[in-house]
Amino acid sequence: MSRINILLHKRDSQHVIKKLHESGLMEITKAKNEFFEEGKMDPLVEKCAHYELRLARIIDILKGYERKKGLRELLKQKEIKKIKVKKKSFEEKIEDAKKLLEEIEGVVIKNQEEIERLEEKKEELKAKIEALEYLSLFNIDVSWLGKSRYTIIKFGIADKPIKLENATVYSKPVGGKKEEKYAVLIVAPVSMEKEVARLKIEEISLEGKGFAKDLLKEVKKELKDVEKKRKEIIKEMRSLYEKKKLELFAIKEEIHIEKEEKEIQAYFGESKFTFFIEGYALSENVKKLRKIVEDATNKKCSFHARKVPREKDAPIHLKNPKWAKPFETFVELFSLPKYDEVNPTLFIGIAFIIFFSFMLGDAGYGLIIFLLSLLAYIKFRRSEFIKQWSFIGMWLGLGNIFTGILFNGFFGDFVPRFIYHDANKTLYHANIAGIELPIDAIHKPVIILGIALLIGLAHLNTGFILGIYQNIKRRKVKAIFVDQFPWFLLQIGGGMLIGSSLLGLWSLSGSEKIIAYALTIIGLAILFKDKGALGFFDITGYIGDWLSYARLLALGLATAGMALAFNIVAQLLPTIVPYIGIVLVPIVLIVTHLANLLIQSLGAAIHALRLQYVEFFNRFYEGGGKRYKPFSISRKYTEEIK
C-alpha cells in the first residue's frame, strides 16, 4: 500500500475528481496538514441530495406495489438490464431528474394519499360491519341507541352475560371456542344512567337510521366499492413502476454519482487557490494513478507517493488467489488483519475444509453437499454471493467424500447394512503401506483421536511459524524468542519425555534424555522469566487448546453414530410395522439423514471456525484492520457510453 499526496490548482479540481472517481484507484482520506484549512463540500451537494431524496421516495412508494414474486421467480436469476447513458454535465443530469419528477411525482403522491385514505376508510367500514353484525342479532333500529328523554339503550361486548336489576338486558354469545364473549343490549330508565355506566362492557357506538340488517348491506356494498377503487389505483401504480422502474433507478444512480463527487471535497485540504488531497493506493497502481492526475492537470500538479512502512497504519486490501477469495468472508467475520499482520485467508480456507470434512466425515453427505453446491453454482452464476458460497460448498463436499471413504462412512453404515446385508463389513478393504483402510471411526476411535491431535499440533505450530514471520516483518526479533521459541522447545523436549515416561511410545538413551530435559528446562525458563507465575497458565492453556482438537473426533462420532442409529431404526421398521413399514423405510431414511446432515453440518461449520478464531488466531493474530475502500463509481442500473 502506498500513501498518496496530491497538490493541485482549484480550477483543475473537478476534472481530477471525475478522473479519480472513474479510475477507482485511490482511497481518499481526510487531509491533515497544518498549512491547509479543512475542505468544504461543494454547495451543489444540497441540490443532489434534494433530487436523490425525492427520487428515492418515489421508488420506495412504487416498490411497495410491485407484484410479489413467487419462489420460482425468485430462484430465476435475471440479469439486471442496464440503461446505456451518455456522458452528461451536472446540469443535464439535474434536468433529467426534474423532468421525470414533474411527470410522475405528483401522480404518485396523489395516488399514495388516496390509497392511504381508502385504507383508513376500509378499516372504518370493517369495524362498522362487525358492530352491525353484532347489533343485527337484536333486530333494532340503530337510531334507538343512546340516551333519550326517558330511556338509555346501550350496546356493547362483554366477557360474560350482564345482569342489572330494574333494567332489560339481552345477551347473545358471539365469541368462538377459545374466547368467550357476549353481545349485550341494555335498556334502562334514565335514572339508572350511573349504574349502566359502571357495567364492564366495551361500548359500541353507531350512527345512522334504519335496522342493523339493512344498514349492514349498505356498508358491505360501500366496502366493496372502496376496495375496488383501491385496487384500481394500485394497478395504476404497479403499471407506472414497471414502465418507469429502470429510468427511476438510472437517474437516481446518476445523481448519486454526482453527489459523491461533490461531497469528496470535504476530505480535501484547502487554501485560497489550491486543494491538497491525501489517501492510499495499491503500490502496483501508483504509476497509472500518477499518469491520470498529471494528464488531468496538464502536469500542473504535485504528485507524491511513498510505500507505507509495515509499522504504520494503513487500510487493508486482501490479495488472495481466485479460489481463496470466498474464504475472505471468514476473516471478515472475525476481523480484518492490521496492515502489519499476516493475511490468514489461505490458512483459514484450507483448515476450514479439513476440519469440516473431518467432523462431518461422511461420503454420502459430502456427495449431497457437492451436487447441491454444483447445481447452485451453475444455476445462480449471476449472483456473486451464491457463487462464492457454492464454491466453498463444492470443496466441503469433496472433502467429505474423501474423509467418508477414509473413515468408512456413506450415510453411516448404509452400504454394509442394506447392500452387503452385513453391518460388520466395511465399505471396501485396502492395505496401503501396511495401513488397513478404511479406518472405522466407530470401532477405532483412538486412531482417529491420534490423527485429530496430530492435525491440531500441526495447526497450532503453523500459527507459531506465522507469528515468527510476522515478528520478522515487524523487526521484533526479541519477541520471537519470548512468544514463539519457548513453545518449540517445550513441545520437542516435553514430547520426548512424555512419550518415553508416561505413554511408553519409545525409549530414550541417556544423551537423548539430557537433550529432552535441557530443551524443556530452557523453554520453561524463558516462559516464566517473561510471564512470571502466569506462565503456568500459559502452559495449561496451550494444552487445553491442543486437546480442543479432540472435537474433530467427537463431532465425527456424533455424525456416524446418528447415521448408524437411523439406519438401524429403518432396518427394523418392516418388523415393527408389518406391510406399512416397508413403505416407510425410504421415507424415514431420507428425512432422518437430511436432518442429520443439516444439524451436523451446522455443528461442524461452527466448530471449524471456532478452532480458527480461538486456538489458531491466539498464536499470532489480533485483527482490527480497516478495509481499503477506493473512491470509485458503482453502477448497477447504468452503463456509460462515449
Output DSSP code: residue 441: T
CA distance 397 to 447: 24
* Measured CA distances, 453 to 481, 495, 505, 630 (Å): 25, 13, 16, 44
CA distance 185 to 227: 32
Neighbours of 433 (CB within 10 A): 4
- Checking if the pLDDT of 314 tops 80, the result is yes
In one-letter notation, the amino acid at residue 250 is A
pLDDT of the residue at 260: 93
pLDDT of the residue at 358: 94
- H-helix or E-strand containing 301? strand 301-307
CA distance 186 to 498: 92
CA distance 219 to 125: 7
CA distance 184 to 156: 5
- Checking if the pLDDT of 273 tops 60, the result is yes
Question: Is the dihedral angle over the CA atoms 596, 598, 599, 601 positive or is it negative?
Answer: positive
CA 13 to chain centre: 39
CA distance 348 to 623: 14
Condensed to tens digits (0 to 9), the pLDDT of residues 366-375 reads 999 999 999 9
CA distance 605 to 110: 52
CA distance 379 to 74: 12
Condensed to tens digits (0 to 9), the pLDDT of residues 282-307 reads 999 999 999 999 999 999 999 999 99
pLDDT of the residue at 79: 66
Bridge partners (DSSP) of residue 584 are none
Quickly list DSSP for 553-587: HHHHHHHHHHHHHHHHHHHHHHHHSTTHHHHHHHH
* pLDDT average, residue stretch 243-260: 93
Instruction: Name the pLDDT band for 419 (thresholds 50, 70, 90).
Output: very high
Phi, psi of 210 (to 5 degrees): 115, 165
- Checking if the pLDDT of 309 tops 90, the result is no
Minimum mean pLDDT among 121-135, 221-235, 288-302: which range? 121-135
Instruction: Name the pLDDT band for 357 (thresholds 50, 70, 90).
Output: very high
Neighbours of 122 (CB within 10 A): 15
Condensed to tens digits (0 to 9), the pLDDT of residues 22-34 reads 999 999 999 988 8
Give the start-to-end residue ranges of the domains of the chain: 129-217, 342-619
Condensed to tens digits (0 to 9), the pLDDT of residues 81-111 reads 888 888 888 999 999 999 999 999 999 999 9
Task: Give yes or no for a contact between 51 and 97, defined as CB atoms under 8 angstroms apart.
Answer: yes
Instruction: Name the pLDDT band for 453 (thresholds 50, 70, 90).
Output: very high
Per DSSP, the three-state class of 2 is strand
Instruction: Name the pLDDT band for 465 (thresholds 50, 70, 90).
Output: very high
Phi, psi of 532 (to 5 degrees): 70, -145
Task: Give yes or no for a contact between 483 and 467, defined as CB atoms under 8 angstroms apart.
Answer: yes
Condensed to tens digits (0 to 9), the pLDDT of residues 527-565 reads 888 888 888 898 999 999 999 999 999 999 999 999 999
Cell of 502: 508416561
> Which residue's entry shows cell 429502470?
246
Closest CA to 13 of 253, 203, 219, 274: 274
Instruction: Find the distance separating the first CA and the last CA of the chain, reported in whole Å.
Output: 32
pLDDT of the residue at 70: 58
Per DSSP, the three-state class of 254 is helix
CA 537 to chain centre: 37
Condensed to tens digits (0 to 9), the pLDDT of residues 146-189 reads 888 889 989 888 888 888 888 888 888 887 667 788 888 889 99
Question: Is the dihedral angle over the CA atoms 496, 501, 505, 508 positive or is it negative?
Answer: positive
Closest CA to 561 of 412, 355, 449: 412
